[in-house]
Amino acid sequence: MARHHTADRDDRQRPPRGPLRTEDSAPTDPEEGTERGFAPAAGALPETLRGPASLLLALYLVGLGLCVAGNTASGTSLLLGTVKDRLFAPWMVPLWLDLGHDTRLTYGLPEDADHSLEIRPAGKGGGRTSAPLRFPAPGDHSERGSRWRRLAVAAVLAEEDAEQAGALPAAIGAGSFAAAGDDDLVIRVVRTMAPDYEAARSPGLSETALEVRVRRREGELQLIPIPPAEEVAPLFDPLPVSGGGN
Amino acid sequence: MDHRASSSIGELAAVAAGTWDRFWFTPTDARRLAIVRGLAGLLGLVLAWSWARDLVAWFGPDGIVSPEVLGVWRSPTALSLFDLARSSAALWGLFLLGVVVLGMLAVGALTPIAAPLAALFWASLLHRGPMLVGPADDVLAVILWCLVIGRSGDAFSVDRRLAATDAKGRAPSWRNGLSLALLRLHASVIAAAAVVAQLKADVWWNGTAAWWLAARESTRIDLTGVFAGSEIATNLVTHSIVLFEVAFAAGVWNRWTRGPVARVGIVGWPLVGLVAGEPMWGAAMAILAWACLPDDGAPR
């Protein structure tokens, strides 16, 4: 029988003991292995463990496939989700292996833009009173800064989830009372959109992705949504009124 | 006829079984895995540093990521040792313990104990703040669990220095082969999954994705001047990233392309990470690329 090469193993290594062993593969004689510089059975998987190990591997491969298929934006299959949640999530989630690995890097969407947190005392009527705390600090390109940006994005995206909505902004506020020295804060997530490629020389545009007021009254945490400015401010028409002007 | 058919099916099954065995269970020298271990330990320390400064602000008793937030964020099956840390002192104690374990992994001290503890620490840390986790953290978690299987402490390690120089310590082990095979599998899967995710969006087809990556304020290297001046350059970088990821995902499975692809990956992934504003992810992928090198690429 011709020797079966694999595409992925160095043939100079000793192949394992198995049904396809040929004259130029693994030594079967202990002395032969010793001549090659190592004990023959020391490094090989015992035959009795090969079956269970293969079974575990196959199980893991199925789990890995289901995690990749089920953890992406497209992974909405009820069947795959149910199988994964019932059989694999209980042991893959605690190990932090329930991952989709769908590192898209960017889609050029608003949610892919830089987000940052701005925390300031609300003052009377929620007006601006003092310099806000900013996370990350402007110009912070570190991994630590990236974590703050992820937190800010998470706060915005969570608003689309009925269960998670409000939880993170409220927690950010509660966690910032001491640092801000105030029990009544405005939490603003600022999104800095890069210009389109066609307008590459233009500066980025900053906008408010989320703004809420968080305050503590008699030990109770209150979250007060602040509607986007365009919903409360009158529209301004930059065109001159007909008949006006010089 | 029937006999011939059943005999060829039997041969095919034998070939498949042999290929399976050789891929997963070939006894392998520990040196390449040891380098993966050292690099993963160092990357873990760097990434841990990015959690350290805000540890109490995020996870402390009055921290932002409160148990209430975790309650609506985390899977019910998620567990974290950090859930047990109710005070800032306990939190810091646990964190520093994890840092020590990562350091032990990096230098290969008590590796059989340090490797599982490092993986456990890392998974616990990520479960404590899932909304803060980036792609580099995910890849490192995978690498650390793969290292638990192998005998990476058998080479380039404090353990090796302290051990008697017997032949057993140098012997190839099926555990190293399995660990490296799993690392290679994940390297390919992660690259393939990234490509599939990217190609769902127009920006990766029309060639402007590189612009969207570079034009973010958070980017580590400013390429906006280059890209704004040349759409061709922007398209070239965008398509090169996709092509590189496809080549890597597929190339590590072929005996002829595996070595070149892995070597290109060691340089290419950090470059992609830099352009994408995810340098730590690039570094983590470069570690996986190292694990994909055929044995003739390992240092002697």
pLDDT confidence of residue A205? 83
Tens of pLDDT, residues A23-74: 334 444 433 444 444 444 568 889 899 999 999 999 999 999 999 998 877 7
Q: Where is mean pLDDT largest: A131-145, A217-231, B109-123, B154-168?
A: B109-123
> At which residue do the structure tokens 């601006």 appear?
A128
C-alpha B55: how far from its chain's center?
23
Instruction: Identify the band that residue B181 occupies on the pLDDT scale cut at 50, 70 and 90.
Output: very high
Residues A8, B255: C-beta atoms closer than 8 Å:
yes
Question: Does the beta carbon of A27 lie under 8 angstroms from any beta carbon of chain B?
Answer: no
Residue of B nearest to A68 (CA): B193
Q: How many Å apart are CA A46 and CA B111, to the nearest integer? A: 23
A residues 120..139 contacting B (CB < 8 A):
none
Cβ-based contacts of A53 with chain B (< 8 Å)? 24-25, 178
Q: How far is B107 from chain A (nearest CA, A)?
A: 23
CB-based contact A174:B63 (threshold 8 Å): no
Residues B168, A175: C-beta atoms closer than 8 Å:
no
Residues 6+ apart with CB under 8 A from B176: B27, B28, B29, B30, B33, B150, B151, B152, B154
> At which residue do the structure tokens 């456990």 appear?
B120
- Which of A173-177, B85-89, B169-173, B204-208 shows the lowest per-residue confidence on average (mean pLDDT)? B169-173
Residue of B nearest to A87 (CA): B77
Q: How many Å apart are CA A7 and CA A43, to the nearest integer? A: 22
So what's the ipTM on this one?
0.91
> At which residue do the structure tokens 């059943």 appear?
B6
Domain ranges in chain B? 28-163, 186-300
At B278 the three-state DSSP class reads coil
Q: How many Å apart are CA A214 and CA A22, to the nearest integer? A: 73
- Provide DSSP, B54-117: THHHHHSTT-SS-HHHHHHHS-TT---GGGG--SHHHHHHHHHHHHHHHHHHHHTSSHHHHHHH
Side-chain half-sphere exposure of B27, counting CA atoms within 13 A: 24
Report the alpha-carbon angle B222-B226-B230, nearest 5. 150
Report the alpha-carbon angle B282-B286-B287, nearest 5. 120
Can you read off the two tokens belonging to residue B119? 């993986």
Q: How far is A229 from chain B (nearest CA, A)?
A: 24
